[in-house]
Structure 1
Amino acid sequence: MTEQQNTPLRAAFIGTGGIANAHAEALWDQPGVELAAAVDLDPARAQDFASKWGVARTAASLAEALDGGGLDLVAICTPPSSHFPLALEALARGLHAVVEKPPALSLAQMRQLETAEAASTGTLSCVFQHRFGSGARRLLAMQDSGALGRPLIGTCNTLWFRNQAYFDIPWRGLWDVEGGGPTMGHGIHQFDLLLHLWGPWAEVTAFAGKLARRTDTEDASAAIVRFESGAIATVINSVISPRETSYLRLDFENATVELEHLYGYSDTNWTVTPAPGREDVVESWNQGEDLSSGHAAQYRALLRSLQAGGQPPVSIAHAYATMELAAAIYASSVSGTTIARGQIDETSPFFTRMDGHLEPWKQEETLNA
């Protein structure tokens, strides 16, 4: 790939279902980007997508797309079980790849992706778009400046609702296909933002279960996370909550900062409540432009990094800490023990599959039948 600004970056979309539209929309308005190929096993769906977004050509595989012309960047928008092999293929071909969440199904796969990226001229970045809204960037800057004081207590809730029909789709709710339930597939965006803001986590104690849906994975989990800073946060992930919300509350010494939204936010979704005598915090918060979170914001940051020849934001190494917390929530809930960061290594059954190959809630269903 050439980095010259007058050479368009040629992008392909692997998978042309619903989420691919978010990627296409995000890249549509970016200067210097050509929507070059739509890749899908269903030719009609690929053609519909290509017609909608003005994509130059369609193909049934990445190899076929490359035969039709050069590519620089691929957006992997397929079901979760295919993220890992497609990312490996893209890296092996020297392409930059953007992969939807979860980037892989296990920590073992994450380590393999790190190795593949190190050997490739391409790069791999993971879609954790909540990091890129102006509210998150402003909050991170205020933390770093010391204006907010120490982080103390946090709440991180992803309370969504998915009915039984959602899980009746054949590839949903299966460990080998999705890697887990709402902890992996829904709440991961919100607690990724929590980790991005509050830094490394130290240990976690969690519960999870199958409370209302017929599915192999959990439909809800709840965790208490202690950070290396000493701060403590609760993290709840649910797809059985009728009033849907994504809610983050962070209590610092000098202010409480809250974010409530559903699938994306702007500055209007944030609230800052100062501690008595610290009204200056609100004045600092109200400065700067309002940029929404979302795929477009992340792609802007990604394209800047590629043009500069640097590493993309949310690299596979950066995403490992988020995936490791997901694995620890599962390990703690299944084992009934507290899990420390770094504890899930190659010797752990939770390293190669999030449920430790135990299928705990499937067994629970059998016992309760």
Structure 2
Amino acid sequence: MSERNYRAAIIGTGAIAHAHAQAIQETRGRVSLVAVADVDAGRAAEFAATYGGAARAYASAEELLRAEELDLAHLCTPPQTHAPLACACLEAGVTALIEKPPTLSLAEFDALAEAERRTGARVATVLQHRFGPGAVRLRRMADAGDLGRPLLATCVTQWYRDEAYYAVPWRGTWESEGGGPTMGHGIHQFDLLLSVLGPWREITAMAARQARAVDTEDVSMALVTFENGALATVVNSVVSPRQTSGLRFDYEHATVEVEHLYGYTDDDWTVTPAPGHEDVLTLWDKDRSEEASGHAGWLAAVLDALDQDRPPPVGTADTRRTMEFIAALYASAFTGERVRSGQITADSPFARRMDGTGAPWRNA
């Protein structure tokens, strides 16, 4: 497989942009950072000097897209800007690599997917925990039948975000973030859950505003059934002082677990075989790695796909399943009803906005 050199830009130079820039550096020449844009021109110039050497700095994405010949654009801006910026990239023939959440609603995501089909350019969402060695190994062993049938899973994102965190104007509102920890924090863990267990069938959920002075929820919980018969619980929180990110999968032949915070290595995984299935440990340990989950592994997978003229991971089809899961969780939480996959059609209020008919505390 021949490797190309890709010309990339980073749009938005806040905290997460540094992870993207470092991932570009770790490609060792497969990607060149040629341009940077930020509404704060001084910050853009400083960022370009730090990571891009000769990279040019722009005060707007529009100016950058007009001036540069690009292959990739990393979108690291606040969530409400993701969809319009991604569409602008597609119109320019540039692959859009979008930080989570990719859009504010399912309808907005479907419009983005239509723009991808119309232009022939590509979109991928940054859901990097799928690409750590442990997750790759787990999916491979599960697909090979080494673990037996999946029976039960638990997925928790219990983080802590204080009032100072929500003092940033675009945080904590449906209009700017699209949702609370379900949308912007837990998405990493339950996206990994979905990537392992496959299509979900139905969801029953709750959401509450427990402690933060925000418009969105600060806690949500869900019970999920999957097409393969597995059952799962999903918890998302930003009010948990002891922070953790965890996944546990109980298969017929073993329990496979990972607990970390913002990224894992093989040392964060444990495997407990069922009696008589100790060979699972041998299979798990065969390909141990020192690599951490993160943006570098995700970007390498994107580049490998583009080198082979394949759609990059996580593409629109995969991401839509995760976005539909979020919409269904909110719909169940706010209506008190069980929601099935495919039930949220284009005319549903929960397709147009994640809060749909309105959060129950809105008028309290």
TM-score of the two chains, using structure 1 as the length reference: 0.96
Structure 2 residue 161 is matched with structure 1 residue 162: yes
2:333 alignment partner in structure 1: 333
Q: Answer yes or no: is 1:29 the counterpart of 2:29.
A: no
Q: Distance in 1 between matches of 2:68 and 2:161?
A: 41
Aligned counterpart, 1:137? 136
Q: Once the 2 structures are TM-superposed, how far is the Cα of residue 64 of structure 1 from its aligned partner?
A: 1.8
Aligned to 2:43: 45
Q: Which residue of 2 aligns with 1:253?
A: 252
Name the counterpart of 2:238: 239
Cα distance in 1 for residues equivalent to 2:359 and 2:233: 25
| SS of equivalent to 2:352 | coil
Cα pair 1:167 1:173 within 8 Å, conserved: yes
Amino acid at match of 1:166: Y
Aligned AA for 2:20?
H
Q: Which residue is equivalent to 2:211?
A: 212
SS at match of 1:297: helix
**Displacement after TM superposition at 1:361 (Å):** 2.5
Task: Tell me which residue corresponds to 2:200.
Answer: 201
Amino acid at match of 1:177: S
- Change beyond 3 A, Cα 1:66–1:83: closer
Distance across 2 between alignment mates of 1:151 and 1:66: 46
Local SS of the residue matching 1:351? helix
In the alignment, what sits opposite 1:87? 86
Where in structure 2 are the equivalents of 1:1-369 lying within 5 Å? 5=3, 8-30=5-27, 31-55=29-53, 56-290=55-289, 291-363=291-363, 366=364
Q: Which moved more, 1:165-174 or 1:99-108?
A: 165-174
Please state whether the residue corresponding to 1:263 is helix, strand or coil. coil
Q: Report the alpha carbon displacement of residue 4 of structure 1 after superposing the two structures with TM.
A: 7.3
RMSD (Å) for aligned C-alpha atoms: 1.3
Distance 1:121 1:34 in 2: 23
Q: CA deviation at 1:316?
A: 1.5
| SS of equivalent residue, structure 1 residue 216 | coil
Gapped runs of 5+ residues in structure 2?
A: none
Displacement of 1:61 in angstroms is: 2.3
The letter for the 1-side match of 2:51 is W
Does the residue aligned with 2:233 lie in a helix, a strand or coil? Answer: strand
In 2, the alpha carbon distance for the partners of 1:277 and 1:49 equals 55
Alpha-carbon contact 1:83-1:99 (below 8 Å) kept:
yes
Counterpart contact for 2:334–2:359, Cα < 8 Å? no
Matched to 1:15, the amino acid is: G
Matched residue of 1:350: which SS? helix
Q: Structure 1 stretch 188-197 or stretch 316-325: which is displaced more?
A: 316-325
Unaligned runs of 5+ in 1: none
Instruction: After TM superposition, give the deviation of residue 70 of structure 1 in Å.
Output: 1.2
Letter in 2 for 1:27: I
* 3-state SS in 1 of match to 2:270: strand
Q: How many residues align?
A: 361
**Deviation digits for residues 114-158 of structure 1 (CA, Å, limit 9, x no counterpart):** 111111232100011000011001010110111100000110000
Q: Is the 8 A contact 1:73 1:95 kept in 2?
A: yes
Calculate the TM-score normalised by the size of structure 2.
Answer: 0.97
Report the secondary structure of 2:257's partner residue.
Answer: strand
Deviation at 1:33, TM superposition (A): 1.4
Task: Give the 3-state SS of the residue equivalent to 1:130 in structure 2.
Answer: helix
Structure 1: how far apart are the matches of 2:317 and 2:201? 17
Moved over 3 A (4+): 66-69
Please state how far the C-alpha of 1:357 moved relative to its aligned partner.
4.3
